[in-house]
Amino acid sequence: MSLKLDHLSVSYGHEPLVSQLNIQVKSGEFIGLIGPNGAGKTCVLKTIAGLLKPHKGTASITGRNIHSLPARQRAKHIAYLAQNRHMAWSLSVRELVSLGRAPFRSSLGRFSADDELAIDAALHTAHCYDLQNRKFDKLSGGEQMRVHLARALAVNAPLLLADEPTTALDPYFQISILKALRASALSGKTVIASLHDLTLAKQFCTRIWVLHEGKLILDETPETAFNPDMLARVFDIRSTDHGWEIL
């Protein structure tokens, strides 16, 4: 799998949201997409997921334009974990995770043996196999997030996009989610996750994209990305012995 963003720009009406992204990604990378609120992280992920159309440039996966692919075909290649994790109706955990196989389902809505295997594997990877018969709305926030992650993993797509997968979770669940995403990347998938926790991004990601005012200003390894210049310019903070501090 290869992902290529070529002069990708997205706008809302006449207002540019993201400008001139030129990036290439190969399999097995775990990319942390960081930037302050409003920098355009969700916009980038939604555009790669095919939910927003670019007004300039292209996004392609394995040489095929994402926005020209039929919806079901695209869904088989790109899994998307949205920021909004509200569930309208109370389904069981297994029913919810099985929605990840929607792009593969026959017209009669039946699941194949492969689908069931993918669902089981996703439940195991996200550590929620034991929750599978419980109702989603009876779970804690952290457990719900793991279930949503399992739903995204069940797609078994080569590219997984996760929009703030650790937001509002306690440290145990944040680490648990990021470990599952890293395991997915190590198994050969590409993972792009927008993250607010810089320490965790540094700890788990193999590559960092820094987005500022709709522009990609840095594309480096975690070791070099979190330098004082970037922290001051993008986040108005600095790193001290006691943690982060506002400038």
* Contact set with other proteins (CB under 8 A): 46, 49-51, 71-76, 78-82, 84, 86-91, 95-96, 99-100, 102-103, 105, 109, 151, 155
What is the enclosing helix (H) or strand (E) of 72? helix 71-77
The residue among 75 and 178 lying less far from other proteins, judged by its C-beta, is 75
Phi, psi of 135 (to 5 degrees): -75, 135
From the list 59, 47, 62, the residue with the least C-alpha distance to 12 is 47
The SS3 assignment for 106 reads coil
The residue among 89 and 172 lying less far from other proteins, judged by its C-beta, is 89
The residue among 51 and 183 lying less far from other proteins, judged by its C-beta, is 51
Give the nearest distance from C-beta 85 to other proteins in angstroms.
8
Give the nearest distance from C-beta 50 to other proteins in angstroms.
7
C-beta separation of 61 from 36 below 8 A: no
Give the nearest distance from C-beta 136 to other proteins in angstroms.
10
The residue among 138 and 233 lying less far from other proteins, judged by its C-beta, is 138
Give the nearest distance from C-beta 92 to other proteins in angstroms.
9
Give the nearest distance from C-beta 57 to other proteins in angstroms.
21
CA separation for the pair 145, 77 (Å, rounded): 22
Token pair 């775990």 in the structure block, residue: 30
From the list 136, 152, 162, the residue with the least C-alpha distance to 44 is 162
Beta bridge partner(s), residue 238 = 245
The residue among 82 and 237 lying less far from other proteins, judged by its C-beta, is 82
Give the nearest distance from C-beta 99 to other proteins in angstroms.
5
The residue among 20 and 60 lying less far from other proteins, judged by its C-beta, is 60
Give the nearest distance from C-beta 246 to other proteins in angstroms.
33
E strands, 69-182, in order: 78-81, 159-163
Q: Is 215 buried (19+), middle (13-18) or exposed (0-12) by CB count in 10 A?
A: middle
| Buried/exposed 49-82: b ≥16 CB within 10 Å, e otherwise | bbbbebeebebbbeeeebeebeeeebbebbbbbb
The residue among 60 and 239 lying less far from other proteins, judged by its C-beta, is 60
